Amino acid sequence: MLEFETKYFGKVPYAPGSVIEFPLGLPGFEHEHRFVLIEQSINKPIVFLQSLSQPELCFPTAPVSQLCPNYELTLSAEDLFALGCHEQPVVGQDTLLLAIVSLAPDGPATANLLSPVVIHWRTRLAVQAIQADSPYSHQHPLLAPAPVAPCL
C-alpha cells in the first residue's frame, strides 16, 4: 500500500491498482493525469477526486446516477480512444460517471452534468467528457429550491 499526503485528508493510503489515469488531463488542468477516489461515509454521496501530484488539488464530485437517474452519455471518438474503448461503454456497468461539484460561497452548490468525469473500470482510464449539444447544465442545482409560501 502506498501513501500520499493531501491538504484536506492528511495521509491517504492507496493501492497502485486504484490509480485513475486521465491521458488528456482535465480541462484547465491538462498536466494533471493521476488521481485517486476518496470516499468517506460522513460525506456520502460525495466522492473526492484527489490529484496524486498536487496535495491541494481535489475535486468534490457526485455520482451522476444520483443526480439524474436517466442521464444519457454519448462520448466523442477522442474520448473513446482516451478510455481505450471501441464503442460506447455501458454506464453503470463499464463506467462510473461523476459530476464535479461547485461550492460557491454566496450561492447554491451545483454539479456539472454538461461535462461529467467518465471512469472506465476495466482500463482505469478517465476523461472529462464535454457533451456538445447536450440538454444538461454545467450548473445543475444539488438541492431543489425551497417552495415559496403564498401571500395571504
Q: pLDDT tens digits, residue range 20-40?
A: 999 999 999 999 999 999 999
pLDDT digits (tens, 9 = 90+) for 58-115: 999 999 999 998 999 889 999 999 999 988 888 888 899 999 999 888 888 899 999 9
In this prediction, residue 143 has a pLDDT band, given cuts at 50, 70 and 90, of low
Q: What is the per-residue pLDDT for 32?
A: 96
pLDDT score for 9: 96
- Residue 150: the pLDDT is 58
**Which amino acid, residue 44?**
K
- Grade residue 148 by pLDDT with cuts at 50, 70 and 90: low
| pLDDT value of position 94 | 87
List the grid coordinates of 16: 497502485
The amino acid at 135: P
Task: Choose the weakest-confidence range: 1-5, 64-68, 88-92, 119-123.
Answer: 88-92
Q: What is the pLDDT of residue 135?
A: 87
- Residue 145, pLDDT above cutoff 60: no
pTM of the full predicted structure? Answer: 0.89
pLDDT at 151: 57
- Residue 79's pLDDT is 94
Whether pLDDT at 146 is above 80: no
The domains found in the chain, sorted by start residue, are: 2-141 (2.30.290.10)
